[in-house]
């Protein structure tokens, strides 16, 4: 049986009595002003990892809850406060999703958000693929203390819109033959 070191607890308990794994990146957004600012910017929403449902309750009539291990359903817009360890695979999955979505608003670790926007001028697989296929806009910075338990890093909410968005039901145009996703 593995030993657990004092002060290094993997599981922490919220005041609601729900256990969260900070080791798995579970930090729940608790600031209602940040939640409301995200809600005001979307229409039909796919929420990834509904957590304690504080965000879900605000947009209950518009939500399809999703788990990363399955195929993405059709959706018009997506909002998520993802565990930061799955940021890259989720962005990759979004960029490959057809039909195109209208937009996604995702909260990422601040450095990852800057890479997606290519503000760091540090080209990565994620930044190249995202810049080829989508427009990324920074919406808001979210501080560490807006989470329960407090996060160890600063966060940012970004909006990603595909460059070839089509109306629902319309067939998306094929990508140019010279365009392919960069693989790691």
The 10s digit of each residue's pLDDT in 105-134 is 999 999 889 888 876 667 777 788 888 899
Across the chain, what does the average pLDDT equal?
74
Q: How far apart are alpha carbons 87 and 93 in whole angstroms?
A: 10
The 10s digit of each residue's pLDDT in 132-147 is 899 999 999 999 999 8
Regarding predicted confidence, which is higher, 158 or 10? 158
Residue 184 falls inside a structural domain: no
Residue 59 marked as a ligand binder: no
pTM above 0.85, yes or no: no
Residue 66 falls inside a structural domain: yes
Residue 101 falls inside a structural domain: yes
Q: Strand (E) positions, the chain?
A: 11-13, 19-21, 28-29, 45-48, 63-66, 77-81, 103-109, 134-142, 147-148, 155-162
Residue 145 marked as a ligand binder: no
Residue 146 falls inside a structural domain: yes
Which run of H or of E encompasses 88? Answer: helix 87-96
Task: Give yes or no for a contact between 126 and 134, defined as CB atoms under 8 angstroms apart.
Answer: no
Residue 3 falls inside a structural domain: no
Instruction: Compute and round to an integer the Cα radius of gyration of the chain.
Output: 17
The pLDDT value recorded for residue 106 is 93
The 10s digit of each residue's pLDDT in 3-29 is 333 333 333 333 445 566 667 666 778
Residue 58 falls inside a structural domain: yes
Q: What is the DSSP string of 121-149?
A: ----HHHHHHHHHEEEEEEEEE-GGGEES
- Domain CATH code at residue 126: 3.40.50.150
Q: Which domain holds residue 28?
A: 14-162
Count the domains in the chain. Answer: 1
């Amino acid at each position: 049986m593995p030993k657990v070191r004092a002060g290094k607890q993997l599981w922490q308990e919220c005041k609601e009595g729900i256990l969260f794994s900070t080791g798995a990146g579970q930090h729940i957004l608790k600031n209602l002003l940040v939640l409301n600012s995200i809600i005001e910017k979307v229409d039909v929403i796919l929420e990834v990892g509904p957590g304690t449902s504080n965000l879900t309750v605000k947009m209950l009539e518009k939500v399809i809850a999703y788990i990363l291990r399955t195929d993405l359903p059709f959706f018009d817009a997506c909002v998520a406060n993802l565990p930061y360890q799955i940021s890259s695979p989720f962005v990759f999955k979004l960029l490959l999703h057809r039909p195109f979505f209208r937009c996604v608003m995702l909260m990422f670790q601040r450095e990852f958000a800057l890479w997606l926007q290519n503000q760091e001028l540090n080209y990565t697989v994620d930044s190249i693929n995202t810049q080829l296929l989508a427009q990324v806009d920074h919406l808001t910075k979210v501080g560490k203390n807006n989470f329960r338990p407090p996060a160890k890093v600063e966060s940012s909410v970004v909006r990603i819109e595909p460059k070839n968005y089509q109306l629902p039901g319309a067939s998306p145009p094929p990508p140019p033959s010279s365009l392919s996703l960069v693989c790691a």
